[in-house]
Amino acid sequence: MKLNEKIAIITGASRGIGYEIAKKFVENGAKVIAFDVNEEGLKQAKNTLNNYYPYVVDVTDSKKIDETVKKINSEFGKIDILVNNAGVTKDTLLVMMKEENFDFVVNINLKGVFLVTKSVAKVMRKQKSGNIINISSIVGIEGNIGQTNYAATKAGVIGMTKTWAKEMTMRGENVRVNAIAPGFIQTAMTDKLKDEMKEAAINRMCIKRLGTAEDISKTALFLASDDSAYITGQVIRVDGGITL
């Protein structure tokens, strides 16, 4: 198994893409530490997955993050993988966007990635090994109407990914940092879109279908495993060719 006995923290791991990544990792031998604010979702996921350890953690709560990361490192003796997946949207056009909705998305999607990674990075640098995978979006590369806040955060995640790939190897550490930029993935988030919007998106794709959470989980598995041992600081688009 590609991740045999690896310890992986995954944020937003109770449903959607985060759950599918957790499932794929467990199937490949990892022990998954799931961070989420959805306690009921965590319980349901634990009932379906082995080696799934749920923790109710808000990615904007630095104190709770630090306490939990220290507890995990003490219990398992290491942290091999971090997947920053937790994210939200509050979409509307720029001139109608409320400041609190801008701040809400930035705090979770950008600051949350910063806070969790900062805490886990201390462990990884000390053990001189680790693997960080950030879930960005093609919106962070191409932009999208009505998503000023979301686009800003996902572009910021790409910037942090490249910065951390440099920082986390400064002293000879083997810590890789990469990002995945999904396109239109079939989740509860895209289920809210009108059918004509989905059809218009599919018509722009080379591969004529919406992506699945499993498409993302397979890419995450590749980046988390030794199959990608010489890859760092990269952004992999998983978008069916919509941005070509």
What would the pLDDT profile of 53-77 be if each residue is shown by its tens digit?
A: 999 999 999 999 999 999 999 999 9
Is 130 marked as a binding-site residue?
no
Has 21 been labeled as part of a binding site? no
Q: Enumerate the domain spans of the chain.
A: 7-183+213-238
Residue 174: CB atoms within 10 Å: 14
Per-residue pLDDT at 191: 74
Q: Residue 243 above 80 pLDDT?
A: yes
Instruction: Report whether 181 belongs to an annotated binding site.
Output: no
Residue 15 annotated in ligand binding: yes
The one catalytic residue in 19, 53, 150, 230 is 150
pLDDT at 17: 97
Looking at the structure, give the CATH architecture of the domain made up of residues 7-183+213-238. 3-Layer(aba) Sandwich (3.40)
Q: What percent of the chain has pLDDT over 70?
A: 100
**What are 192-212's pLDDT values in tens digits?**
777 888 888 899 999 999 999
Which pTM does this prediction carry?
0.96
**Known catalytic membership, residue 52:** no
